[in-house]
Amino acid sequence: MMASSYNAKDEDGHITVTGPGGGAVLRSKKPENTAFKQQRLPAWQPILTAGTVLPAFFIIGLLFIPIGIGLFVTSNNIKEFEIDYTGADTSSPCFNCSQNFSWNSTSPCTCTVPFYLEQPYESNVYVYYGLSNFYQNHRRYVKSRDDSQLNGNLKSLREPSKECEPYAYHNNKPIAPCGAIANSMFNDTLELFYNDPNGTSVKILLGTTGIAWWTDKHVKFGNPGGVDSNLSAVFQGAGGCWSLALSNAYKRDSTRSSSSDRLSVSGTTKPLNWRRPVYELDSDQSNNGFVNEDFIVWMRTAALPTFRKLYRIIGKSSQMVPTLPRGNYTLEVVYNYPVRSFEGRKRMILSTISWMGGKNPFLGIAYITVGSVCFFLGVVLLVIHHKCGNRNNGAEISN
């Protein structure tokens, strides 16, 4: 029954309802007149006009083509020599080694591979070893390491992370360095001999340092017990040097490990596949243990299954003589690393370097191609624009 419904309205017709937010106060609710609230912020409104897009294409083209040519020329000037010594073919000198080898064999197998450099290599020459079909980027492989241990943490040395499984413990002793990466470290020894035309064979001096990243060598990797500790003692966890090593270790690690740790440290063992323990990688103390550069280089896992890693550097000896003159050479391989089980390949690479690194023809070609395509696109678009575009419609409308 609405017979008695009456209206009580404000005279101005304004109706306010007391919502949950509180009573309505009679003040002006006019929104603020700010550029932000009124969506009038000053703004730059770019438009894709012929005047902006076409020059952009030409500029890209004109920029990329010279860069590409530069890159291509630079890359072409770099000398690179590659030799596969896997020994997959029967004709290969390393065939025997590759056939007979297993991780357990005690006597090293050596093979020599002769090769000929057609051009002399000026300046520093970089020696790489390359592996193919080796999945260093497999998820389980990549994570199978303990960076804390590699950094020299005593606690991790004693108790490797479980990421290292199944290469964390062997015979109840912690493995140092633990994990699948360390376990599979490349251990062929490569040596180069220059066969002088007069018949003598000269061993070429291979520099073993300067091949790892600075941060890896100085930050990421560190020996337990500090720089000047007795490594064998630290890793073996026994012997007369134990207390010394520990005190050093304690000094170094006092911030990280509690003092009770030192009493329970026992010895570590080498990775299963290794012939030598980690503290015997090099006689040079600063290149031994976890900071051994060969080891560090191996531990920096590759992104793709075919990769190369820096092995040695042949420093330029004098201005007059090329580092590697043209002529006959012999590569002497101590064949320790089996790859045939998974159809892998092993290579040795010699390369010089420019400002942009090693030989890299792709980049130059790609730049030239992209640059030309852009330029060409620019021309095509210009033609299309000229023939069919509606250049002036806007201006017509505006009047």
Partner 1 sequence: ASQCCRNRKPHEEERRVRANDREYNEKFQYASNCIMTSKYNIVTFLPVNLFEQFQEVANTYFLFLLILQLIPQISSLSWFTTIVPLALVLSITAVKDATDDYFRHKSDNQVNNRQSQVLIRGLLQNEKWMNVRVGDIIKLENKQFVAADLLLLSSSEPHGLCYIETAELDGETNMKVRQSVSVTNELADQNNLASFDGEVVCEPPNNKLDRFCGTLYWRDKKYTLTNQNMLLRGCVLRNTETCYGLVIFAGPDTKLMQNSGSTKFKRTSIDRLMNTLVLWIFGFLVCMGVILAVGNAVWEREVGSLFQSYLPWDPSVDNFLFSAFLSFWSYVIILNTVVPISLYVSVEVIRLGHSYFINWDQEMFCSQCNTAAEARTTTLNEELGQVEYIFSDKTGTLTQNIMTFNKCSINGQTYGEGPDPLDFTPFNPLADPDFCFYDDTLLESVKVGDAHTHKFFRLLSLCHTVMSEEKSEGELVYKAQSPDEGALVTAARNFGFVFRSRTPGTITTTEMGRPVTYTLLAILDFNNIRKRMSVIVRDPEGRICLYCKGADTVLLERLHPCEQELMNVTSDHLHEYAADGLRTLALAYRDLSEDEWEAWSESYCCADKATSCREDRLAAAYEHIEQDMMLLGATAIEDKLQEGVPETIAVLSLANIKIWVLTGDKQETAVNIGYSCKMLTDDMPEVFIISGNTVHSVRQELRRARERMIELSRTREGGKEEGIEGWKQLQCPPPPPSNLMDNISGEFALVINGHSLAHALEADMETEFVSTACACKAVICCRVTPLQKAQVVELIKKHKKAVTLAIGDGANDVSMIKSAHIGVGISGQEGIQAVLASDYSFSQFRFLQRLLLVHGRWSYLRMCRFLCYFFYKNFAFTMVHFWFGFFCGFSAQTVYDQYFITLYNIVYTSLPVLAMGIFDQDVPDQRSLEYPKLYEPGQLNLLFNKREFFICIAQGIYTSVVLFFVPCAVLSDATQSTGEPLADYQTFAVTTATALVIVVSVQIALDTGFWTVINHVFVWGSLGSYFSIMLALHSQTLFLIFPNQFHFVGSAQSTLLQPVVWLTIALATTICIVPVLAFRFLKVDLKPQLSDTVRYTQLVRQKKHGRLGARGGSRRSGYAFAHQEGFGELITSGKNMRLSSLALASFASRHSSGWIDTLRRKKPTHVQTPPRGSVPLEGSGCCIQQPPPALCSYGNQTE
Residue 44 binds to partner 1 (criterion: CB under 8 A): yes
224 vs 202: CA distance, rounded Å: 39
Q: Quick one: which of 147, 159, 261, 332 contacts partner 1 (CB under 8 A)?
A: 147
Is the separation of the CB atoms in 167 and 178 below 8 Å?
yes
Minimum Å distance from CB 260 to partner 1? 21
Residue 281 binds to partner 1 (criterion: CB under 8 A): no
| Minimum CB distance to partner 1 smaller for 109 or for 370 | 370
Minimum Å distance from CB 271 to partner 1? 12
300 vs 296: CA distance, rounded Å: 6
**# chain residues binding partner 1, by CB under 8 A:** 125
Minimum Å distance from CB 47 to partner 1? 5
Is the separation of the CB atoms in 319 and 306 below 8 Å?
no
Q: Which of 158, 178, 283, 273 is nearest to 232 (CA)?
A: 283
Residue 323 binds to partner 1 (criterion: CB under 8 A): no
Instruction: Identify each DSSP E strand in 133-230 by its residue range.
Output: 169-170, 173-174, 189-195, 201-203
Q: Which of 354, 363, 360, 343 is nearest to 84 (CA)?
A: 343
Range in contact with partner 1 (rule: CB under 8 A) among 87-95, 236-244, 324-332, 368-376 = 368-376
Tokens representing 27 are 């003040």
Name the region of 23 (left: φ>0; alpha: ψ -120 to 50; beta: rest): beta
| Minimum CB distance to partner 1 smaller for 228 or for 343 | 343
Tokens representing 297 are 């280089």
| Minimum CB distance to partner 1 smaller for 176 or for 236 | 176
Residue 180 binds to partner 1 (criterion: CB under 8 A): yes
For residue 227, the one-letter residue type is V
Q: Quick one: which of 86, 98, 132, 153 contacts partner 1 (CB under 8 A)?
A: 153
- Report the DSSP pairing between strands 201-203 and 327-335: unpaired
Residue 390 binds to partner 1 (criterion: CB under 8 A): yes
For 366-399, the DSSP string reads HHHHHHHHHHHHHHHHHHHHHHH---SHHHHHH-
219-238 residues in contact with partner 1 (CB under 8 A) are 219-220
Residue 110: how many other CB atoms lie within 10 Å? 15
Q: Quick one: which of 176, 211, 324, 348 contacts partner 1 (CB under 8 A)?
A: 211
95-134 residues in contact with partner 1 (CB under 8 A) are 103, 124, 126, 128, 133-134
Minimum Å distance from CB 389 to partner 1? 4
Range in contact with partner 1 (rule: CB under 8 A) among 41-49, 104-112, 238-246, 324-332 = 41-49
Range in contact with partner 1 (rule: CB under 8 A) among 187-195, 198-206, 212-220, 322-330 = 212-220
369-388 residues in contact with partner 1 (CB under 8 A) are 370, 373-374, 377, 381, 384-385, 388
Residue 63: how many other CB atoms lie within 10 Å? 13
260-279 residues in contact with partner 1 (CB under 8 A) are none
Directed axis angle between helix 50-77 and helix 361-388, to 10°?
160
DSSP state of 279: G
Backbone angles phi, psi at 307, to 5 degrees: -150, 170
Per-residue x/- track, 7-36, partner 1 (CB under 8 A): xxx--xxxx-xx-x-----x-xxxxxx---
190-209 residues in contact with partner 1 (CB under 8 A) are none
| Residue whose tokens read 């089996």 | 338
Residue 258 binds to partner 1 (criterion: CB under 8 A): no
Q: Quick one: which of 305, 322, 332, 372 contacts partner 1 (CB under 8 A)?
A: 305
Minimum Å distance from CB 36 to partner 1? 9
**Inter-CA distances, 202 with 196, 325, 329, Å:** 7, 12, 9
Residue 157 binds to partner 1 (criterion: CB under 8 A): no
55-84 residues in contact with partner 1 (CB under 8 A) are 56-57, 60, 64, 67, 71
* Angle (CA) 228 234 235, round 5°: 125
Per-residue x/- track, 284-303, partner 1 (CB under 8 A): -------------x--xxxx
335-354 residues in contact with partner 1 (CB under 8 A) are 338, 341-343, 351, 353-354
